[in-house]
Amino acid sequence: MLVGRHSSVVQSSNRISRCLYELAARSQVSHSSWSSPTTSSSLTISRAASGSSTRWLTRQGRDPYTRASKLNALKSRAAFKLLEIDEKHHIFKPGQTVVDLGYAPGSWSQVAVSRVRPGGKGRGRVVGIDVIPAQPPKGVSTIQGDFLSPSIRQLVLEFVRDANAGRAIAHQSFARSGGNEDEVDEEPITEKTSDQEGDDQKQGRVVDVVLSDMMMNTSGNAFKDHAGSMDLCLAALSFSYDTLVSGGHFVCKYYQGGEEKDFETRLKTLFEKVHRIKPDSSRKESREAYFLGLRRKADTSKEIVFPP
């Protein structure tokens, strides 16, 4: 058992190293400045801590992804989930507009910034929305408010549809780093025609990637938590329908349960390819998983995705 656990930790360390190397390469940061976790750990726990707190702290101290996130100044271990998804499917590229729903504390936005490079030649931008006040990562524009509120959602729509909002004025040239073609999604990338681009502009579809890591406070009731996560997924999908460009991508966290199949069916009407993903960095005991919708179709009506 000890050997098996050691092997698992080493495999996790190798995956983290690959993700950090990819992040460093696309961020134009030397890989030598990133630190991968070791297989040993130490953690000082106060004697006054409760039993549940002690167990949580012990788990955090033993978790290689938590240690790696702290060593590399990432906002949280959740960064590795998005890094894994992008490492395989390459959803980001310089110059994109990315909207991160439920961005706090900001680890997914950190990954997005490293990919789309706000302030670079492509003038990418990352916009984060969350009801929780948080210090955003450098290069991220944020709106604090409840995304389910119609007024906040309208504010977000107006912001992303302003071509200059959230974009740096000064330009800086970056060398572009390619990915491993063997790990790119197997389906061919659909090139947008000028007609598609014009149609996107007319309909206010200006976002290239929508990320949703939104999650309500869990209750411990699996059915209730699943239903709540599906409501958030539907809100994120509705926003994506209104804002994603043709060929755009969608990533959404959900709690596994009975309604996920219906949501997957909706996604398949709007995207050319749909994946269910349980990243290696997601804890095995967690019910969380992710939907990935690749390449938004240009001509799907809203009534098909959201039947009356």
Rounded to whole angstroms, how far apart are CA atoms 147 and 44? 38
Rounded to whole angstroms, how far apart are CA atoms 23 and 110? 10
Angle between helices 64-71 and 79-89 (to 10 degrees): 90
**Tally of CA atoms within 13 A in the half-sphere of 301 that contains its CB:** 4
In the numeric block, the tokens 């190293």 are attached to 17
Q: What is the 3-state secondary structure (H, E, C) of 120-150?
A: ECCCCEEEEEECCCCCCCCCEEEEECCCCCH
Q: How far is CA 62 from the centre of its chain?
A: 24
Q: Is 253 among the catalytic positions? A: yes
CA separation (Å) from 47 to 41, 44, 54, 143? 19, 9, 9, 40
Q: Which of 93, 253, 268, 278 is catalytic?
A: 253
Residues carrying an active site annotation: 253
